[in-house]
Amino acid sequence: MSDRVAVVGVGAVPPRPLSVDRSYRELGFESATRAYGDAGVTHQDIESFISVCEDFHEGTSITDEYTPDQLGAVLQPVHTIAGDGLQGVAAAVMLIRTGIADLVAVEAHCKTSNILTHEQVLAMALDPTYERALRVTPHFVAGMEMRRYLHETGSSEDAVAMVVVKNRRHALGNPVAAYGGILSPDDVLASAAVCEPLRELEISPNSDGAVVLVLASEEAARRTPKPVWIRGVGWASGTPWLAGRSWGQASYAGVAAEMAYRMAGITQPDREIRFAEIDDTYAYKELQHLEAAQLAPRADVTRMVMEGETRRGGRLPVNPSGGSLGMGYCFDATALYRTAEAVRQIRGEAGRAQVAQATTGLVVSWRGIPTQSGGAMVLSAD
């Protein structure tokens, strides 16, 4: 039996700040319909289903119980990963590699516009005894991370602003991206301080969305039109202690990327990875993640970004889709949006956003503040 696993179907709805016209079920149904159609399979062909969701984000306990209908998964094996999207993908890889299923669907959706008290939900993620009691907005975690990152690496705030400029510009080439725009670094640097040094334009806007991916064993993938191979996948979590974590570095992403590279047999990531779809929930995160994934040496990140090497036409295009800064941040669904966009690149279906020779791509995900959890995945055309 082959150990290879492929993404064979991708379906998503365009992320938008509001989605009042449809329920999460209806968004999920559209995404699943698209994904199954893309893979050339029906819901009856899928043997197992994974839902990536968090109760607090949905306002419903056991919220995964509400996903089988829109996936065509009634009375089928379904389970939940309440974590990062790539952890959900990794679970699907395991189901396939253990021989339990040949075709697995992974679902994630986001109705962040339905949460009226976002800060309360976010506050619930902080330790109740030590951290929540201080009653500071949890965005401070990002502000402190950004400061320590800039302090340790010498990366410049201009480079952080350039990430925003680049991703918003990339989004203009992506017809489903909501936040395309032409900005200058000065526009970004002139935006209001939220949790200094973090500025308003450096935070990706919250968006609603839904994504479904179909994964397949090699045998099943050979029967589908457009398989993209998962060569390696990894994930890791750091310590939950805010007071004692590595503030400057995305250590979790480093461990996750190493795990994925080892599985993929990649020894020189900066040469073998041709493009990346990397978590940019906050603009500095893209830089942190680039370094953690060994795609940019610490001393070089600022130069690379400022000289345009991470633009669509550059040596290592990063977030050619526009990333979360250009498409919107979809909480639990973010990693699956990054994956879907990477799959489109490798298939050569990215249209105006297409990167030349996008044969091997890296996806890096982050579970969001206040976590130190994330994943990495190497996708390849063969």
Site residues for other proteins per CB under 8 A: 19-26, 29, 32-33, 42-43, 56, 59, 68-70, 72, 74, 111, 113-117, 120-121, 124, 128-129, 132-133
Q: What sign does the CA torsion over 141, 142, 148, 152 have?
A: positive
> In whole angstroms, how close is the CB of 44 to other proteins at the nearest point?
8
Distance CA 346, CA 357 (A): 8
Q: Toward other proteins, which CB reaches closer, 71 or 86?
A: 71
Shortest Å, Cβ 124 to other proteins? 6
Judged by beta carbon, residue 123 or residue 172, the one nearer other proteins is: 123
Nearest alpha-carbon partner for 344 in 381, 374, 378, 317? 381
Q: Which is nearer to other proteins, 33 or 156 (CB)?
A: 33
Q: Which is nearer to other proteins, 39 or 255 (CB)?
A: 39
Cα–Cα distance measured from residue 171 to residue 202, given in angstroms and rounded to the nearest whole number: 15
In which element (H, E) is residue 212 found? strand 209-217
Task: Give min distance, CB of 356 to other proteins, in A.
Answer: 38
- Residue 246 CB, nearest distance to other proteins (Å)? 27
The neighbour count for residue 317, using CB atoms within 10 Å, is 25
Q: How far apart are CA 24 and CA 20, in angstroms?
A: 10
Indicate the residue among 131 and 279 with the shorter CB distance to other proteins: 131
Residue placing its CB nearer to other proteins in the complex, 101 or 355: 101
Nearest distance in Å: CB 248, other proteins: 30
The distance of closest approach from Cβ of residue 55 to other proteins in the complex, given in angstroms and rounded to an integer, is 10
Cα torsion 86, 88, 93, 99 to 10°: value is: 170
- Residue 170 and residue 345: Cα distance in Å, rounded? 13
User: For residue 48, which amino acid is it?
Assistant: S
H-assigned helices in 40-103: 55-58, 68-71, 85-97
> For other proteins, which is the closer residue by CB, 72 or 197?
72
First to last CA, the chain: 18
Query: Is the CB of residue 114 less than 8 Å from the CB of residue 59?
Result: yes
Residue 114 beta carbon to other proteins: minimum distance, rounded to whole angstroms: 5
Complex with other proteins: residue 189 or 242, whichever CB lies closer: 242
Give the nearest distance from C-beta 41 to other proteins in angstroms.
Answer: 11
Whether the CB-CB separation of 278 and 240 falls below 8 Å is answered with no
- Which amino acid belongs to residue 196? E
